[in-house]
Amino acid sequence: MLEIKNLRVQYGAFAALQDVSLSINDGQVVSIVGANGAGKTTLINTISGLLRPVSGQISFDGKDLLQMEGHNIASMGIAQVPEGRKLFSDMTVYENLLMGSYSKHARPQRQKQLEMVYELFPILKARDKQLARTLSGGEQQMLAIGRAVMMCPRLMMFDEPSLGLAPKIVQSIFEVILRLKAAGLTIMLVEQNVRQSLQISDYAYVLETGRVVIQGSGQEVLANEHTRAAYLGI
């Protein structure tokens, strides 16, 4: 479904990603593991078209994403739950969700997706007239996920969805990710909660200073000695 080959992204002279190749198959959960600054967010933002690579290829269902602009990439069903949520802070919860189904391909499904989001996160329905910035951190994260679900995505990329949240909310967010997987979505997951994300992953890549250093099934990467020492503290 998503095919990345020899991707190189630079901020000025600094290479944030070097020679990164990875692929995600339909219906899989794929984890990207790495320390701060390893290039995880850069990778996600490059796929979304917010950043332009120096070289390499990204294709989605055979279409070259590097020929497309960010808003067109989103309209194809590549959704991002961004780091820091990036909500429309002065819009209501309901309006934020509506924005998720802005694109022409998502708009006809608006009502159906809205029901799905309210079923996943009943609290969002209760708060639908509140401004997004008045929500708690956990609720904001739910809204960010809900907005992405509104896009009728085929690929959903999560960037640190549990960052700064209480353990109980983290659990419910993992449950939602599993439910989305069960509903047939393809998921790319960047999580500081390495053990748990590897446990639910079909495949995983470990990024270090912009390069893929380890890859394998979730279980393999979980069992890898280097991963255990560097990311699980065992």
Partner 1 sequence: MVFSPELLLQALITGVLLGGIFALISVGLSLIWGVMRIVNFAHGEFLMIAMYIAYYLVVKGGWDPYLTILITAPALFLIGILIFQTTIRPILKDPSMNQIMLTVGLSLIMQNLALVFFKADVLTANTTYTRLNFMLGPVVVRGSQLIAFAGSALTAFLLYWFLQKTETGRAIRAASLNRDAATLVGINVRNTYLLAFGIGSASLGVAASLMIPFYYTSPTVGLFFGLIAYVVVVLGGLGSFPGALVAGLIIGLTESVGASLLPGSLARVLTFGIFIVVLLFKPQGIFGGKQK
Binding region for partner 1 (CB under 8 A): 48-50, 69-72, 74-75, 79-80, 82, 86-91, 95, 98-100, 102-103, 106, 133, 147, 151
In the complex, least distance from residue 146 CB atom to partner 1, rounded to whole angstroms? 12
Which residues lie across from 30 on neighbouring strands?
188, 203
Toward partner 1, which CB reaches closer, 15 or 91? 91
Q: Which of residues 17 and 156 has its CB atom nearest to partner 1 in the complex?
A: 156
Q: Which is nearer to partner 1, 106 or 170 (CB)?
A: 106
* Sequence-separated contacts (24+) of 205-208 with Cβ below 8 Å: 205/22, 205/30, 205/31, 205/32, 205/33, 206/33, 206/34, 206/231, 207/20, 207/32, 207/33, 207/34, 207/38, 207/39, 207/40, 207/43, 208/34, 208/35, 208/38
Q: Least distance in Å: CB of 89 to partner 1?
A: 6
CB of 179 to partner 1, least distance (A): 22
Q: In the complex with partner 1, which residue's Cβ is closer, 40 or 224? A: 40
> Cβ(33)–Cβ(198) under 8 Å?
yes
* Closest separation in Å from C-beta 201 to partner 1: 23
Q: Give whichever of 74 and 212 is closer to partner 1, judged by the CB atom.
A: 74
Position 152: which residue type? C
Q: For every residue of 48-78, which 3-state class applies, written as one string?
A: CCCCCCCEEEEEECCEEHHHCCHHHHHHCCE
d(CA 203, CA 197) in angstroms, rounded, equals: 10
Rounded to a whole number of angstroms, the minimum distance from the CB of residue 177 to partner 1 is 18
